[in-house]
Amino acid sequence: MKLLTSIILSLFSLPVSAWDIGGQKTPAMGFNTQVTHSYSSYIYTLIRETATTMKARGFLDAGYTFINIDDCWNTKTRDSNGQLVVDATKFPSGMKNLTDFLHDLGFKAGEDQGTATCAGFAGSLFHELTDARTFAEWGFDYVKIDNCNSGSFNGTNPERFQRWTDALTQVKNETGRIIFYSLVEWQGFDAWTWGPSIANAWRIYDDISADWRRIKQILNNASFLGDFSDFSRHNDLDMLENGNGALTLAEQRSHFTAWALTKSLLLVGTDVAALSQESVDILLNPDIIAINQDTSIGEPVKPFFWGKNPDGTWDPAFPAQYWSGFVGDEKHTAVMYINFNEETVDLNFTFSQSGHLDGDKEYNVRDLWKQEEIGSFKEYFFEGGIEAHDVRAYMFTEVL
């Protein structure tokens, strides 16, 4: 109820201007170690192997450029000079050696910090500038700041995370290095109202899990927050769980499509070497990735028709089903439909229901999962036989 109240109140707030120091304006894509590697004593080797595998399996060419170390890479105390200390047992060749390796492969490097990290290692509260300089020296391109263990800070969450904004801005001025900045607040979520002026991305919900129920909960939250996301400022729906748990291929398709088209960060959180080719193909769909990485339109798709529920319904068990948004220009519109029912159903809608389609015009339609043109349509669209938990994604191109 507290989260719902926060979202309702935020709808009366206009999005603030984005924090932009000249870095990447589209959502970050890559890999995060949290699920598979963070707690392993062999994390250094696993990261190198993961990067090599991702390049070999086509992830780098598809745009997955960041390899992010999420936690457990440093010791629990700083050295006598107040510097963070890399765990030499886990990283025997040091952190700069690892980031050089990633850069040589063509990737970028990221890391996670907190007040004390979520796993209890030395954090960055009151050491922000020192650590930002250290990360720049080590060659990092991305930092995620968690709000774990932040009880010693007496200010607000915006004040706490602004300290990293100031540090990263100063490091950019000193060195020219631009570091992508993502944040995770705890003790409630409302960062979409203040995050745009402070960071490049902010989490909108609790941790994800490889569970269809959790995916629906997160997407329900996102359905009310599209107005807060644009270039250089992104709602982060959390990691991609494709290939984990018992998610079916249909659920993996829906998960990936929803995250991509709502312009979330796309950070793979699974053992890439163990992924089936079917799961890899989902994550590498070029038409879906192109919408996420659109450099002309920064806004995400937004719901235009809830489907089963009345429009505007808050329902974590059955979110909005029909979404749309411009792609590239206002002549091209992406439409997403997700079947949250437990049985096969049909989809249908009229063009006038979407603010991104003109009810008086004709459109050529491409199915982005079949990757084929399916015909021209006027006034309304219909397709039958959408299986339970599966997705449809289309590109509507105005016929001139």
Q: Which of 70, 112, 141, 146 is catalytic?
A: 146
Q: How far apart are CA 43 and CA 82, in angstroms?
A: 25
Give the active site residue among 207, 281, 311, 346: 207
Residues written for the chain: 400
CA 236 to chain centre: 4
Q: Could you give the CA distance from residue 166 to residue 168 in angstroms, rounded to a whole number?
A: 6
Other CB atoms within a 10 A radius of the CB of residue 30 amount to: 25
Instruction: Check if 207 is active-site.
Output: yes
Count Cβ neighbours within 10 Å for each residue of 71-106 and write b for 16 or more, e otherwise. bbbbeeebeeeeebebbeebbeeebeebbebbeeee
**CA 135 – CA 367 distance, rounded (Å):** 43
What dihedral angle (degrees, nearest 10) is formed by the CA atoms of 32, 36, 39, 44? -70
Distance, in Å, from the CA atom of 13 to the CA atom of 4, rounded to the nearest integer, reads 15
Strands (E) in 147-265, as ranges, are 180-184, 201-203, 234-236
**DSSP assignment of 346-395, as one string?**
EEEEEGGGSTTS-TTSEEEEEETTTTEEEEEEESEEEEEEEPTT-EEEEE
Rounded-to-integer distance, Cα 227 and Cα 192, Å = 9
Using CA atoms, how far apart are residues 190 and 113, in angstroms rounded to an integer? 20
The H or E element containing residue 104 is helix 95-105
Q: Which of 28, 22, 218 is nearest to 108 (CA)?
A: 28
Residues 6 or more apart whose Cβ sits within 8 Å of residue 159 = none
Catalytic residues: 146, 207
